[in-house]
Structure 1
Amino acid sequence: MDKSLTTLLFSCTLLISLCVPSLAQTCGNYTFSGNRSYSTCNDLPQLSCSLHWNYHPSNLTADIAFRKSGASTSNWISWALNPSRQAMAGSQALVAYQHPNGSILAYTTQLNKNPNMQPGKLSFDVPSIAAEFSSNGDMIIFATLQLTDSLRLTNQVWQEGPMNGGNPGEHPTNGQNGKSMGTVDFINGSVTTTGGTTSKQRKRNVHGVLNAVSWGILMPVGIIIARYLKVFKSAGPAWFYLHVMCQTSGYAVGIAGWATGIKLGSESPGISYDTHRNLGMIIFALGTLQVFTSTSLFFFLLA
């Protein structure tokens, strides 16, 4: 056989061998237990999850299966609809995790009313819900949803997080967890996801940068000036003016960062970072006291 033809055949064989496993991993080839089958599915781009469903237009119901591949027995999973925003906070969620006795718990919860993910009714009916941990390591939530006209095309969110003392704990907010949201169209069978930075993520970034510049740079620089430059007689009163400038500008930037944090908190009902909030309040109070002391002394010297 011609050498070039042999090389071509080998290349084609190698390409097919690489593509076949990839095709086998798509949601459409997955086999569920109990003879369950779904006409529509989408591989979600984050957290190795997929959503499968059958939509019944005659009674506005949808039979869904939310699957997390390679799930951990020490993690919980959740899939939710949120008609008001693309966020987990305020969503109508289905939650599942493995109980210490080995059983799989599945239930519903509204995250605006139950921030600790305790069981509760949703704004729409869920006639049935169950979950299983498959032999190949997938955790799956099965449910029937009684949809409304507004829910046939709406926001969806999915998450996973660690268990904490037998209850669902706080999930990460960065990486894939911060991007696991989008929309689902039960009628047309389409799913879209948010790939870029959301408005809330931008506000988080602004909040972090402002506070880093204020409390982490400008305020410490002002302290360093007061501590080390005042010993030089040649510096005269200039060191004090620089000190006040750094402290007041740092405080002003800090107020902007603090206000951004307050805004983020008001837009995230059910989510609370107590340690972060308490430390921020202490730093803000101490900074306020220090700036007012420096400013009072500054005006005293001017007088």
Structure 2
Amino acid sequence: MIRPKPLAFALVLAFLLLAAPASAWGPRGHRLVAELAAAALTPSARAQVDLLLQGEPEPTLAGVANWADELRANDPDLGRRSAKWHYVNIGESGCEYVAARDCPDGDCVVEAIRTQATILADRSQPLPARRQALKFVVHFVGDVHQPMHAGHARDKGGNTVQLSIPDGSRDGRGSNLHALWDSGLFRDLGESEARHAARLRALPGIVAGSADPADWARESCRIVLRPGVYPPRARLDPRYIDTWRPVAERQVALGGRRLAALLNDALGD
């Protein structure tokens, strides 16, 4: 087996760690949150969404769900300015959120959702500003329900926790804890996005509950602190995915329900 040179490996790892924090759930997870929300919109909210997304390549909530993650390539300046809006680090504080401490200058996912939802709801704002706010809201509500996006600062939301995931090869597939929760838990499902969405839509007991993004972050953070979320060793036990995939799927379903409630409130009559 050819092993990478230490310097080359370090450079690649550094690049991945810099790039990773703005990603949550992976493209499928964000689309699922958006699809679940779209199915629960009121007629007036749906009409506003249709108006705001006119001209988009895929003018649906799912079609813009990953737009905020693509900014680094498509709009680097906005991507840099919004980079901290994808997460909040409250794991070290026992999952208590204090805005002045955890979100200085409003640069975290909790305050970004609040700010962008306010712009979205304000019909005196220019249409392009409200369209951008909608795209941010769709993405950030997904982000805040990915537990690692409300976890520990010390390991960059699990990005520095390196893992080897069994895949039939001798050494397994290299990954990290953040990436595992982004998309690795859904990697081998073998079902279409439509069937996945239908299954999540049918999950029992998914109730929006609190409308406060700070509460959503606290809930996500508490998952991070559960025993077993951080694997005891680098080589992942195959049972880990079976244990934690249902938790991740409930978070996706909950994100969809809460996104619908937020949009119905912001865009309703």
Per the TM superposition, whether the score is higher than 0.5 is: no
Instruction: Give the structure with higher Rg (CA).
Output: 1
Q: Kindly indicate which of the two structures has a greater share of residues assigned to strand.
A: 1
TM-score, with structure 1 as normaliser? 0.23
